[in-house]
């Protein structure tokens, strides 16, 4: 998968060369290309921001460098163009899976109080938020999106890290996990996990997932229960 990023802080994306995503890039499964918006500014001081019309706090990213960057990066308009912003639709696992099917993404990172609205009208397909909080720029949200989407690219995860059995794949939160040693600081691993009865283990894990989800995420719990009606007593 090809992922292009437009930002005024390209060096922030060096962390993508580390770990699983670094390995995926070396293997050619993932190709992240980062472009500096400042390089496309025609201003004599290479400015990329200005004060907002109408007044108010902070600065707004000017349209010229952004539009020039996006046009240069996606001449054939073949990328899905995404702007990371607090007013976007909140990213969820279903959206991650949909975006992972795209050939190419172009992620636009805004700084300060955001970007000139006309760039969104002219150049952006979709606005996405990574949660209800404000950061100094869209760079960390872009990296969250890259990380989440890359896990669905064929070959990026090993078989032991597959996406099929994890949290949210059944709409529930994860059950508790344990590894060696069998006792740690006086706390033991639940007996059922040591027995090797896989039906019993699956039942225990589902019960744990259901209880944790009911306590922490009643919204997810209600959805699960609606879609998994209890088998009622057989008619006589």
Chain residues in the site for ligand 4G3 (CB under 6 A): 84-86, 110, 113-114, 129-131, 133-135, 137-138, 141
Closest CA to 88 of 13, 7, 142: 142
Kindly state the smallest distance separating residue 126's Cβ from ligand 4G3, in Å: 13
The answer to whether the bond into 181 is cis (omega within 30° of 0) is: yes
Which one, 65 or 138, has the nearer CB to ligand 4G3? 138
Tokens encoding 54: 């109408």
Which CB sits closer to ligand 4G3, 129 or 213?
A: 129
Rank residues 60 and 172 by Cβ distance to ligand 4G3 and give the closer one. Answer: 60
Distances, alpha carbon 207 to alpha carbons 142, 165, 174, 197, 233, in Å:
35, 15, 11, 15, 21
Residue 175 — φ and ψ, nearest 5°? Answer: -75, 160
> To the nearest whole angstrom, how small is the minimum distance from the Cβ of residue 110 to ligand 4G3?
4
Residue 60 C-beta: closest distance to ligand 4G3, Å: 9
Diameter over CA atoms, the chain: 85
Structure tokens at 234: 């057989």
Cβ-closest position to ligand 4G3: 114
Cβ at position 46, least distance to ligand 4G3 in Å:
20
């Amino acid at each position: 998968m090809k992922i292009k990023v437009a930002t005024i802080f390209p060096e922030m994306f060096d962390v993508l060369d580390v770990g699983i995503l670094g390995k995926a890039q070396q293997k050619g499964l993932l190709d992240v290309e980062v472009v500096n918006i400042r390089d496309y500014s025609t201003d004599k001081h290479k400015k990329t921001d200005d004060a907002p019309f109408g007044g108010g706090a902070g600065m707004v990213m000017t349209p010229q460098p952004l539009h020039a960057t996006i046009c240069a990066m996606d001449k054939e308009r073949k990328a899905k163009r995404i702007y990371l912003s607090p007013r976007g639709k909140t990213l969820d696992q279903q959206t991650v899976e949909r975006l992972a099917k795209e050939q190419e993404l172009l992620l636009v990172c805004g700084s300060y109080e955001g970007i000139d609205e006309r760039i969104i009208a002219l150049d952006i397909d979709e606005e996405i938020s990574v949660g209800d909080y404000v950061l100094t720029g869209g760079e960390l949200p872009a990296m969250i999106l890259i990380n989440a989407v890359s896990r669905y690219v064929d070959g990026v995860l090993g078989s032991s890290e597959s996406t099929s059995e994890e949290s949210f794949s059944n709409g529930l939160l994860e059950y508790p996990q344990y590894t060696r040693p069998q006792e740690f600081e006086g706390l033991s691993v639940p007996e059922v996990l040591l027995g090797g009865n896989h039906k019993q283990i699956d039942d225990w894990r589902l019960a744990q997932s259901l209880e944790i989800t009911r306590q922490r995420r009643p919204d997810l719990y209600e959805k699960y229960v609606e879609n998994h009606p209890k088998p009622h007593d057989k008619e006589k």
